[in-house]
């Protein structure tokens, strides 16, 4: 009779599972924004974009909310549990997002169907800053109160 080395696998803890879902959600949110940008650059979705353009302030509000949501989920997903590292990790996430959305906005200078607008860039920065600060607050104080997993 041969002995087999049977490995006992344990399911991931709830905290790890939640972290994995947050990271997956952050990546999907980021890819969705890239998809929207590519579609707009290719002229796809013009009816939807035409509707947005007809509503006063909808473009800037859309930038603020969409980019802010990506920042919110990204901070929850990629900023760790140890408080002494959170500021540095938060700054990395914010700077990376700011760079990515700045590049996206400046690419619009060379794309024929897109138009660079400083107001869009400012709305992106405000969304990243405000939503990421809220997420950092939740990460710090939500863990202490048991609202968020450690």
> Does a structural domain hold residue 150?
no
pLDDT score of 57: 80
**Averaged pLDDT, 72-85:** 86
Instruction: Give 67's DSSP letter.
Output: H
> Does a structural domain hold residue 4?
no
Give the span between the Cα atoms of 56 and 45, in whole angstroms: 19
> Does a structural domain hold residue 1?
no
> Does a structural domain hold residue 113?
yes
Q: Cβ distance 11 to 44 under 8 Å?
A: no
> Does a structural domain hold residue 7?
no
pLDDT score of 10: 44
**Averaged pLDDT, 15-32:** 83
Asked whether the predicted pLDDT for residue 9 surpasses 70, the reply is no
> Does a structural domain hold residue 5?
no
In which domain, by residue range, is 41 found?
Answer: 15-144
pLDDT score of 44: 75
Q: How many domains does the chain have?
A: 1
> Does a structural domain hold residue 75?
yes
Q: Cβ distance 6 to 141 under 8 Å?
A: no
Residue 59 confidence class, pLDDT cut points 50, 70, 90: confident
Asked whether the predicted pLDDT for residue 123 surpasses 50, the reply is yes
> Does a structural domain hold residue 57?
yes
Q: Cβ distance 127 to 61 under 8 Å?
A: no
Q: What percent of the chain has pLDDT over 70?
A: 78
């Amino acid at each position: 009779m041969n002995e087999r080395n049977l490995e006992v696998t344990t399911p991931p803890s709830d905290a790890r599972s939640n972290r994995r879902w947050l990271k997956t959600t952050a990546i999907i949110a980021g890819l969705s924004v890239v998809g929207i940008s590519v579609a707009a650059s290719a002229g796809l979705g013009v009816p939807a974009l035409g509707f947005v353009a007809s509503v006063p302030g909808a473009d800037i509000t859309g930038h603020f909310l969409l980019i802010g949501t990506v920042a919110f989920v990204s901070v929850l997903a990629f900023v760790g549990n140890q408080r002494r590292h959170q500021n540095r990790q938060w700054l990395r996430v914010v700077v990376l997002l700011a760079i990515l959305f700045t590049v996206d906005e400046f690419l619009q200078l060379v794309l024929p169907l897109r138009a660079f607008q400083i107001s869009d860039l400012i709305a992106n920065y405000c969304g990243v800053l405000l939503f990421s600060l809220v997420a950092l607050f939740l990460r710090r104080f939500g863990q202490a109160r048991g609202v968020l997993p450690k």
